[in-house]
Amino acid sequence: MNHDFKSIIAQFCVDGEFVRGEAYGCGHINDTYAVYMNDRGCVYRVLLQRINTDIFSDVDGLMSNILGVTSHLRKKIAQRGGNPDRETLTVIRTKSGAPYYRNEAGCWRVYMFIEDTLTLQSARSRDDLYSCGSAFGAFLRDLADYDAETLTEAIPDFHNTPKRLETLRRAVAEDKMGRAAEVESEISFALSRTERAAAITSALSSGAIPLRVTHNDTKLNNTLVDISTQKCLCVIDLDTVMPGSALYDYGDAIRFSASTAPEDETDLSKVGLDLDLFEAFTSGYVCASGGSLTAAEIKLMPDAAIIMTLECGVRFLTDYLEGDTYFKIHRPRHNLDRCRAQFKLVEDMEIKYNKMADIAGR
C-alpha cells in the first residue's frame, strides 16, 4: 500500500523538508518506514511506523507505556554517563504534542533514527549473545524500580502460556480452516506439556517470583548493535513492554538466540539448542541485571527457556489453524514450519535440561 509520507510526517515535530520514504526492516507486526528529511542541506532519517491496531487496540495505553519507560531509561542512562539519544528510543511528538497521529490509514508514530547501528537476525559469535544478554539484563536492572502495575497490558495475557494452550484447544475445536487433521501430532505435543507450561504463571500468582517491567519480545534483532563497538547499544520494539516476569524475557531470548537454526527452519535436523550460546546469553543477562534476579527466578531459567519456546510454537500453530491472521507469512504453511521448528527446539532443550540447569546455577 502506498502512503502519503509527506503529509503524515508534516504532522510531527520534524525539521526540514520531506525527501522520500521507504520500507524499512523486517518486523512481523507493524509497518515500518525510513523517512528522509533535508534540513538546510543536511539529509537525515527518522523512523515512521504504522501501529497495527488489530493487535494493539489501546494505542493510548501502548504509547503511555513507551513514553513512561523510555523517560525512566533516559534518566538512568544519563546518570551513568551514557547517551540517552542512542541508548534508548526517543518518541517524536506531533505538533499538537500527541505521541501519535491518526488518519484514515491508521495510527502513526515517529522515533528518532539511531544511526551507525545494525540489527542482527542471528548471532555471529558467542560475543553477540553475551552482549545481547547484557542489553536485556541492563533493561531489567534499570527498570527494577519502575512500578510495573502502572503499565497497561498492551496485549492481555501475552505470555500466559496456560491461556495460550486454551486458545489452541478452541482453535482445534473450531477448526475453521479444516487444518486440524494434518497437525494432530503437533497438537498432541503441545497439550502433553500442559503441566510444565504453568510453572511461571503459577510462581507469579503465588508471589514466589516478583512482578516486573518486562520487554516480552527479547530477540537479538530487537536490539541495535553499535557499528563501531559491535556491542548491543539499545533495546528496541517496546510495544510489548508490560507487567510480567523476567523469566518471560529470558526464556524468549534463549528460544530465539541460542537456537542452531532460524525459527522457520524446515530441515528439523538442523534445529537444536547451542549450549555455548545459551551460556553466553545467560552470563550476560545475569551479570548486567546487577543482582536484580532472585534465586527463585534463576532456578526457573531452564524451565523458562522451554516454556517460552513451547508457547511460541503454540502461537504459530494456533495462527495456522485460524488462517494465518496474526503473524505475517511469506509462503504457504509458513506458520506450521515455524511451529515445527519451535517444537523440535523444545525437544532438544528437554534433553539438555540438566546441562542448562548447571549453567544457570553457576
- Identify whether 120 is part of a domain: no
Contact 317, 183 (CB under 8 A): yes
Query: Which amino acid belongs to residue 301?
Result: M
Can you tell me the distance from the alpha carbon of 304 to that of 214, in angstroms, rounded to the nearest whole number?
Answer: 14
Can you tell me the distance from the alpha carbon of 7 to that of 324, in angstroms, rounded to the nearest whole number?
Answer: 32
Residues 192 and 100 in one domain: no
- Rounded to the nearest 10°, the torsion over CA 123, 126, 129, 134 is -150
Alpha helices (H) in 88-229, listed in sequence order: 126-142, 161-174, 184-191, 194-197, 199-206
- Identify whether 325 is part of a domain: yes
Residues 234 and 101 in one domain: no
Sign of the alpha-carbon dihedral angle for 29, 88, 58, 254: positive
Residues 28 and 152 in one domain: no
Would you list the DSSP string of 35-88? EEEEETTEEEEEEEEEE-TTT---HHHHHHHHHHHHHHHHHHHHHTT--HHHHS
State pLDDT tens for residues 275-291.
999 999 999 999 999 99
- Identify whether 158 is part of a domain: yes
Residues 178 and 94 in one domain: no
The residue-averaged pLDDT of 269-278 equals: 96
Q: Please provide the size of the chain in residues.
A: 362
State pLDDT tens for residues 6-25.
999 999 999 999 999 999 98
- Identify whether 302 is part of a domain: yes
pLDDT value, residue 2? 74
Contacts of 218 (CB under 8 A, 6+ apart): 136, 249, 250, 252, 253, 256
Q: What angle do CA 196, 201, 207 make, to 5 degrees?
A: 125
Contact 359, 282 (CB under 8 A): yes
- Identify whether 242 is part of a domain: yes
Q: In what helix (H) or strand (E) does residue 246 lie, and over which residues does it extend?
A: helix 246-257
State pLDDT tens for residues 137-158.
999 999 999 999 999 999 989 9
Question: Number of helices and strands (H, E) in the chain?
Answer: 14, 11
The count of domains in the chain is 2
Within 10 angstroms of residue 46's Cβ, the number of other Cβ atoms is 21
State pLDDT tens for residues 34-86.
999 999 999 999 999 999 998 899 999 999 999 999 999 999 999 999 999 99
Contacts of 147 (CB under 8 A, 6+ apart): none
Mean pLDDT of the chain: 95
- Residue 215 belongs to domain with CATH number: 3.90.1200.10
pLDDT value, residue 1? 57
Q: Count of alpha carbons within 13 Å of 173, Cβ hemisphere only?
A: 6
Residues 225 and 200 in one domain: yes
| Of 121 and 133, the one with more pLDDT | 133
Choose among 303, 118, 354, 113: nearest CA to 199.
303
Residues 310 and 251 in one domain: yes
Q: Name the burial class of residue 112, with classes exposed (0-12), middle (13-18) and buried (19+) by CB atoms within 10 angstroms of its CB.
A: middle
Q: Name the burial class of residue 155, with classes exposed (0-12), middle (13-18) and buried (19+) by CB atoms within 10 angstroms of its CB.
A: middle
The residue-averaged pLDDT of 173-184 equals: 97
What percent of the chain is predicted at pLDDT more than 70?
99
Residues 107 and 230 in one domain: no
Residues 169 and 52 in one domain: no
Q: Which residues pair with 94 in a beta bridge?
A: 12
Model's pTM, two decimal places?
0.90
The residue from 66, 84, 115 where one domain ends is 115
Residues 341 and 201 in one domain: yes
Contact 244, 212 (CB under 8 A): yes
Q: In what helix (H) or strand (E) does residue 344 lie, and over which residues does it extend?
A: helix 334-351
Residues 18 and 149 in one domain: no
The residue from 115, 137, 163 where one domain ends is 115
- Identify whether 350 is part of a domain: yes
pLDDT value, residue 25? 84
- Rounded to the nearest 10°, the torsion over CA 343, 346, 350, 353 is 170
State pLDDT tens for residues 75-128.
999 999 999 999 999 999 999 999 999 999 999 999 999 999 999 988 888 999
Cell numbers at 205, concatenated: 500468582
Please give the residue range of the domain that contains residue 56: 5-115
Residues 274 and 132 in one domain: yes
The residue from 51, 85, 115 where one domain ends is 115
Can you tell me the distance from the alpha carbon of 317 to that of 333, in angstroms, rounded to the nearest whole number?
Answer: 10
DSSP-assigned letter for residue 122: S
The residue-averaged pLDDT of 296-305 equals: 96
Q: Which residues pair with 212 in a beta bridge?
A: 244
Residues 106 and 188 in one domain: no
The residue-averaged pLDDT of 207-232 equals: 95
- Residue 76 belongs to domain with CATH number: 3.30.200.20
